[in-house]
Chains A and B, each alone.
Chain A
Amino acid sequence: MALLEIRSLSKSFRGLRAVTRASFEVPEGGLAALIGPNGAGKTTIFNMAAGVYAPDAGEIVFAGNRIDGLRPDQVCAAGVGRTFQVVKPFAGMSVLDNVIVGALRAERRVPEARRLALRILEELNLGAKRDLPASSLTLPDRKRLEVARALATGPRLLLLDEVMAGLRPTECDQMVEVFRELNRDGLTILLIEHVMRAVMALAQQVVVLHHGEIIARGTPAEVVRDPAVLECYLGEETEV
């Protein structure tokens, strides 16, 4: 059964068509990737799914309920966690406090939220840095913090917006391992990713977006052989 269904979604910004009748689904327990060149509309789809914008047309169905047009906090409450492409740590707060804020979604009381946050920080190898101010973290750690915070809200679906960008290959492989583990434990993940190394290693299903339209979908192996995909996107990027 599909946990997330995007049905014929469209969005324009002052006449610029960012997304045109895009449809795809992410099955419960699945791990899907949304790829495409810069400006293809990936983040726009994410932002609609996360409640930042309402779509002009189409529906977003999560676990059987429409979530398009809800506010971001309502979408989060429904069970969708997200990270931001440009990381947004609570800079003045400690790493642990950052994650506690997320954990307070699942656990109403601070001591329980703190315990949950500590567990998640350990999972993401940030335990040793929990008392540092978030502003002192390096970029890879900020990305990890972004994931930890979203995870702490207890989502059923995690939307990851380019969390691998800027990571070194070994760091990228660590992250891949973390997500694989989370997925094995039952978390459904949809990621936007430019780093093909991660997409090929992780995704069971890939959706390719170009100029706001979906031009291909399938397994990673199928997609990279698709002529339309090669032409628009992968033909220029050879880091595979």
Chain B
Amino acid sequence: MRARLLLAALGAGLIALPQFSGNYVLSLATLALYFAFTGQAWNVMMGFAGQLSLGHSLFVGLGAYAAAALFVKFGIGPWAGLWLAMAICVAAGAAIGLLAFRFGISGVYFALLTIAFAEFTRIGFDHIGWLGGPGGLFLKVGQRTSWDLADLRGTPAMFYYVMLALTAGAFALCAWLLKSRAGYYWQAIREDEDAARALGINTFRWKLLAVAISAAMTSLAGVFFAFYYNNLFPEQIFHISQSIEIILGPIVGGVGTLFGPILGAVLLTTLADSLTNLVAAMGLDIPGVKQVFYGVILLLVIMFLPNGIWPPIAKRLGLGRKD
């Protein structure tokens, strides 16, 4: 009940936000929601099923390139393109999962495999001339005064609402998954895979499902990325720093929780931006100040709140452990 009230208040605030704020705040909020969404997607794999991915940029990149290529080369809009993006990402996720889970690769080695896939895809895309190679793939920048939802061209407020809808959808999906049979099985696998098997769980199949769902969700973030930024470079979108930024939110907020990834992403994005502005206002030019800030926050959270910021807050609010 309390969780519902909190959620309703949060939702109302977020829906009303564009009425009060300018484009700067909106772009910041969109970025925060973007990381909340991708963090939520990553959390399905790591937080729920215990499979650590350090290569989620693979799914962002593949999704972005799939939808952007369809749009630029064939004039097919994002709402059709996202299905191809999802299909490609699910296939890529399944390939990683099949390889890893069939041969019993888990833990750190699984994480390394996900990095490897993201890295060689990055290098591969550098050599695909049709998609611009290292020079990048560009979408025509549309005019930004009216909403064109069909082609995802419009004002910052439109992009904000699209990202808000995605994040809300991801939240609802995760809440439902966690309470479903899949959610119970994933948590069992995360806690003790041998015991899960002994209880009749085909762990191979359920782990694969977690990867597929996580990949499909992340591909949508990629589609959004392509149409929001209008430019794609393999060096940027497939880069490991993308993957790291995705997982910071849930780790800071609370791995395996529903609100954690959102809270973490919002905190990190707004704080990092404030810090960058502050440094700039002081007339200093410190490259990499954001990364150092992320490092410090991560260190503090791991030292003092290893389960993330959200669980103690949830306790104080009288919410369940999983919320």
Interface, chain A (partner B; CB < 8 A): 50-52, 71-73, 76-77, 81-82, 84, 88-93, 97, 100-102, 104-105, 108-110, 113, 133, 149-150, 152-153
A100 lies within 8 A of B184 (CB): yes
Q: A50-B198, A90-B192, A149-B195 are in contact. List 7 more A-B contacts (CB 8 A).
A: A73-B198, A73-B203, A77-B200, A88-B192, A90-B187, A90-B191, A110-B184
Which single residue of chain A is at the shortest CB-CB distance from B183? A110
29 A–B contacts, CB within 8 A, in A order: A50-B198, A51-B197, A52-B194, A72-B197, A72-B198, A73-B197, A73-B198, A73-B201, A76-B198, A84-B198, A88-B192, A88-B194, A89-B192, A89-B195, A90-B195, A90-B196, A91-B191, A92-B190, A97-B184, A100-B184, A101-B184, A101-B185, A101-B196, A101-B201, A104-B181, A104-B185, A109-B181, A149-B195, A150-B198
Q: Report the bound CA distance from A87 to B230 in whole Å.
A: 54
B202 lies within 8 A of A73 (CB): yes
Given contacts A88-B194, A90-B188, A97-B187, contact A110 B181 (CB under 8 A): yes
B202 lies within 8 A of A104 (CB): no
Residues of A within 8 A of B194 (CB): 52, 72, 84, 88
Q: Report the bound CA distance from A102 to B200 in whole Å.
A: 8
Asked if B16 is at the interface of the complex by the 8 Å CB criterion, the answer is no
A93 lies within 8 A of B200 (CB): no
CB distance from A106 to the nearest CB of B (A): 9
CB distance from A144 to the nearest CB of B (A): 15
Asked if B199 is at the interface of the complex by the 8 Å CB criterion, the answer is yes
Choose one: A51, A92, A93, A149; the contact of B199 (CB below 8 Å).
A149
Q: Report the bound CA distance from A88 to B202 in whole Å.
A: 17
Residues of A within 8 A of B191 (CB): 89-93
CB distance from A82 to the nearest CB of B (A): 5
Q: Report the bound CA distance from A64 to B144 in whole Å.
A: 71
Asked if B2 is at the interface of the complex by the 8 Å CB criterion, the answer is no
CB distance from B307 to the nearest CB of A (A): 10
Asked if B236 is at the interface of the complex by the 8 Å CB criterion, the answer is no
Interface SS, B side:
helix
Q: Report the bound CA distance from A92 to B197 in whole Å.
A: 17
Residues of B within 8 A of A100 (CB): 184
B184 lies within 8 A of A105 (CB): no
Residues of B within 8 A of A153 (CB): 199-200
CB distance from B271 to the nearest CB of A (A): 29
Residues of B within 8 A of A149 (CB): 195, 199
A101 lies within 8 A of B198 (CB): no
Asked if B179 is at the interface of the complex by the 8 Å CB criterion, the answer is yes
For chain B, the count of residues having a C-beta within 8 Å of the partner chain is 22
Residues of A within 8 A of B179 (CB): 110
Q: Report the bound CA distance from A206 to B191 in whole Å.
A: 35
Asked if B180 is at the interface of the complex by the 8 Å CB criterion, the answer is yes
Choose one: A82, A109, A133; the contact of B198 (CB below 8 Å).
A82
Q: Report the bound CA distance from A27 to B276 in whole Å.
A: 74
Which single residue of chain A is at the shortest CB-CB distance from B195? A88
Q: Report the bound CA distance from A67 to B86 in whole Å.
A: 39
Given contacts A90-B192, A93-B191, contact A150 B199 (CB under 8 A): yes
Residues of B within 8 A of A108 (CB): 181
Residues of B within 8 A of A113 (CB): 181
Q: Report the bound CA distance from A231 to B130 in whole Å.
A: 80
Q: Report the bound CA distance from A22 to B187 in whole Å.
A: 37
A76 lies within 8 A of B188 (CB): no
Nearest 5 pairs of A and B residues by beta carbon: A76-B200, A90-B191, A88-B195, A72-B197, A105-B200
Q: Report the bound CA distance from A93 to B256 in whole Å.
A: 12
CB distance from A35 to the nearest CB of B (A): 22
Choose one: A72, A77, A101, A150; the contact of B188 (CB below 8 Å).
A101
Q: Report the bound CA distance from A153 to B190 in whole Å.
A: 19
B199 lies within 8 A of A101 (CB): yes
Residues of A within 8 A of B203 (CB): 73
Q: Report the bound CA distance from A93 to B190 in whole Å.
A: 10
CB distance from B74 to the nearest CB of A (A): 43
Which single residue of chain B is at the shortest CB-CB distance from A101? B188
Residues of A within 8 A of B196 (CB): 90, 101
Interface residues of B in 162-221 (CB under 8 A from A): 179-181, 184-185, 187-188, 190-192, 194-203
Q: Report the bound CA distance from A101 to B192 in whole Å.
A: 12
B195 lies within 8 A of A84 (CB): yes
A71 lies within 8 A of B197 (CB): yes
